[in-house]
Amino acid sequence: MNYLSPDKMVSDDDWSDLRQYRALPDIDIDAMHQYRMARLKAQIKEHDVALLILVNPISMRYAINFRSYGIFNTHIPCAYLFLSAEAPFLIHGSLDPVVEPKSRRLGRHIAHFYGGDELKHYAKLLADDVEKYLVEIGETNRRIAIEYVNPSITQALEQRGFEVIDGVVLSENARKIKSAEEVECMRWSIAVAELGAQKVKQALQPGVTEVQLWGLLNYTNLANDGDWHEGRMLASGPRINPWLQEATQRKVESGDLVGFDTDMVGPFGYCADLSRTFHCGPAKPTARQKELYQLAHAEVHANLKLIKAGVRFSELRDQAFEIPEEYREHSYPCFIHGVGMCDEYPHLEQPFRTQLDFDGQLEAGMTICIESFMGAVGERDGAKLEQQILVTETGYELLTQFPFEEDLLA
């Protein structure tokens, strides 16, 4: 393999635009937006609410493709969306000047950054706005759904006689089943992540740091108009086990295993969530490294065989790959989770960890990830693998295409 330093790859970049290798898919963006809005409005009607207030930036992007200051809004929320079944939407506190004036309203301070200790006062003003909006659209229903917010907002609404329910139930259930256009967006995002993974592998040699490798994934995403990564999940050598240690300036050494999990909110706002583990030469993989990798590979593929529409979550847990006792403590926190514009419902833990407090079933059109990490307590090495798939009536369609490592499977 022709190795290049990450710095050289970026400074001499002639590779990062995925469009030079494959054509951007012809996605009907308008049809996708109509589908997503219809899914949300169906939830509004099903739960018999007058108004759904969206605060999560992922939900706002799903609803109206609102993309402005996404990460900022996760921890300093300033924008929120009023959505009803029939009336036009209103976005409050938008930092995006492109939003049409007719759809914009003044935002009340729902973050301490703006409102200080007077959040209770601003909550009352927000409740006033809700009352006025419902009068304006001729709505008499007093049932409101709202996503994650300060308790003062719920209290202010209840003091005005509103019944308040969890809006996240509506928004998450709306996002659960993907349209054909959404799946195409996801395929493109995954292809971007896999281009980044290819460059990580090309840059992997002794002396490169974890953050330099991680930076290639991040750079590739941004170069293709993607958004962000949910974490910096890349670890090497003695830091790979236990898993979930984020990238540092540790220099990779010959003989190390290097694992990563993209957790990437990519182009079109769709998540590419794949994991791979590489081996750094020139040393050859050890028998133990191969054993760990092959166990992770076996878990992923055994659990893939369980996937098809109609299978209940409880069945998946009962029939899931049985992780040997010595790997259970460090095993991944779940063996299956949903994915869409980010990680989504459901999150299914292994039976030896917890009881199942809710049940449901896989449905055609859901997109999910199959996870594995194998590493024993007290040992240096571990292997992380993950595949992203589309659930179908008869099984699944594999969305990730990045190959597994022949030298670790041999």
CATH number of the domain within which 199 lies: 3.90.230.10
pLDDT value at position 94?
Answer: 86
Residues 88, 186 within the same domain: no
Domain boundary, last residue among 146, 175, 204 = 175
The enclosing H or E element of 122 equals helix 119-137
pLDDT tens digits, one per residue of 362-387: 999 999 999 999 999 999 999 999 99
pLDDT value at position 1?
Answer: 63
Instruction: Specify the CATH number for the domain of residue 95.
Output: 3.40.350.10
pLDDT value at position 272?
Answer: 98
pLDDT value at position 95?
Answer: 77
- Mean pLDDT (the chain, rounded): 96
pLDDT value at position 97?
Answer: 76
Task: Name the phi and psi angles at 183, rounded to 5.
Answer: -65, -40
Residues 186, 169 within the same domain: no
Task: Name the phi and psi angles at 286, rounded to 5.
Answer: -80, 165
The rounded distance, in Å, linking the Cα atoms of 155 and 40 is 25
Residues 240, 354 within the same domain: yes
Q: How many domains does the chain have?
A: 2
Which residues, 6 or more positions from 191, have their beta carbon under 8 angstroms from its beta carbon? 18, 22, 401
pLDDT value at position 198?
Answer: 97
The rounded distance, in Å, linking the Cα atoms of 82 and 101 is 15
Residues 208, 146 within the same domain: no
pLDDT at 96 over 90: no
pLDDT at 389 over 90: yes
Residues 137, 229 within the same domain: no
Mean pLDDT value across residues 392-396: 97
Cα 25 vs. chain centroid, distance in angstroms? 21
Residues 232, 362 within the same domain: yes
Mean pLDDT value across residues 239-250: 98
Domain boundary, last residue among 114, 149, 175 = 175
Residues 166, 198 within the same domain: no
pLDDT value at position 371?
Answer: 98
